[in-house]
Amino acid sequence: MSPCGYSRPVTQPARYFVAIARFAFLTALSGLLGGCYYWQAVAGHQALMQERRPVQAVLDDPRSTEDVVTRLVLSQQLLDFAHRELKLPDNGSYRHFVDLGRPAVVWNVVATPEFSLTPRRWCYPVVGCVTYRGYFKRAAATRYAAGLRARGDDVFVGGAAAYSTLGRFRDPLLSTMLGSSDTRLASLLFHELTHHRLYVQGDAAFSEALAGTIERAGVRRWLNSRGDLTALCQYEQWLSRRGEVIELLAAGRRGLNAVYAASADAPAVDRWAAKQAALSRLRERYRLLRADWQGPPHFDGWFDSRLNNARLIALATYDALGPALDALLAEAGGDFDAFFARADALAELPPADRAAALRAIPVTTGQPAPAAGCSG
């Protein structure tokens, strides 16, 4: 088989999907250039490194648009805040800029069998096994997805706005990160810098939950420091609604698993009909949930007509450990140095002991609902 062609994925279960594109960098580190997939990963990473420009040079460039200048100034203020207040590493990352000229930095392909929520996974040297395959070019991701779809898999192709080398290189700020709201830009930077501070290989659930805890606490602290109570209210509303949607999606996955188990011996056409009925029920539940919301944010794109197994897996999150790590930060009195000391100790534990330690942390269930309206 040509190294540039379709290859069959490993089919054993995997636990997680990493939405932000870290895989290409780690593949490049392996030094294995045999095959087009490895080459595109290496070439894509190198292109980012070569095309970056110091942020100050972009700010000084008279050709830079006012919007780009405004967003870059904000990004640098957010970095200063992250280093000073959140104790995140000042390693030179995000002090350079790359205008990608495209809507995503990479496109990740996720696939499942037609009647299963167990994701396909692919195994590579150094990196190990992951539940997605990332491409720096959308056309390449689409071609690979078409091969998976042709064999009967459910497939989802999703673009990522950010790219991280986990602190191995000075990661650049990307144009794809600037187009979002101020709060979203803050979230991305705080989240990714947390991975630079601590990332446990092989335990994405812990690493992503840790970044989520710092992201939420950091955004809240930043908005409070600005006295922007309207934006803070809107952020809390977004978190609350996102939590409702995550619970809805989790229930949808449980429902589909039950459908697949109950129809295991049925003809394929009957299984397909049962699957579509379950997906329709999920969309209807979202419609009813959304009807109680007054204005945005909405999550309509998550429930579009392309909803399938792979899309549901791709939207699975790492929130399970979030409450325990939030509680750990609260125990530290919001002191990020003390919190990271505890997190570092957890990271040193064997996986089973780390999971047990996290389960032992007392968690306060429930949180006050945000105000219905957030106008200034």
258, part of any domain: yes
249, part of any domain: yes
Average pLDDT of span 212-218: 97
Query: Do residues 213 and 266 share a domain?
Result: no
Angle between helix 322-331 and helix 351-359 axes, rounded to 10 deg? 70
User: Which contacts of 351-355 are long-range, i.e. CB under 8 A and separated by 24 or more positions?
Assistant: 351/202, 351/203, 354/203, 354/206
Segment among 47-56, 190-199, 328-337, 361-370 with least mean pLDDT: 361-370
- pLDDT on residue 205: 85
For 92-147, the pLDDT digits (tens) are 999 999 999 999 999 999 999 999 999 998 876 545 567 888 899 999 999 999 99
Q: What percentage of residues in the chain have a pLDDT greater than 90?
A: 66
Residue 7 has pLDDT above 60, yes or no: no
238, part of any domain: yes
For 30-86, the pLDDT digits (tens) are 444 445 666 777 788 888 888 999 999 999 999 999 999 999 999 999 999 999 999
92, part of any domain: yes
Query: Do residues 296 and 332 share a domain?
Result: no
- pLDDT on residue 3: 32
Query: Do residues 208 and 301 share a domain?
Result: no
2, part of any domain: no
The number of folded domains in the chain is: 3
Query: Do residues 300 and 337 share a domain?
Result: no
Average pLDDT of span 1-8: 35
Query: Do residues 155 and 288 share a domain?
Result: no
Query: Do residues 303 and 210 share a domain?
Result: no
1, part of any domain: no
Query: Do residues 195 and 250 share a domain?
Result: no
Cβ 246 vs Cβ 319: under 8 Å: yes
Among 319, 349, 368, the domain-final residue is 319
Query: Do residues 249 and 333 share a domain?
Result: no
Query: Do residues 222 and 253 share a domain?
Result: no
18, part of any domain: no
Query: Do residues 181 and 33 share a domain?
Result: yes
Backbone angles phi, psi at 23, to 5 degrees: -65, -40
pTM, to two decimals: 0.84
Query: Do residues 195 and 283 share a domain?
Result: no
Query: Do residues 282 and 176 share a domain?
Result: no
Among 198, 229, 260, the domain-final residue is 229
265: containing domain: 230-319
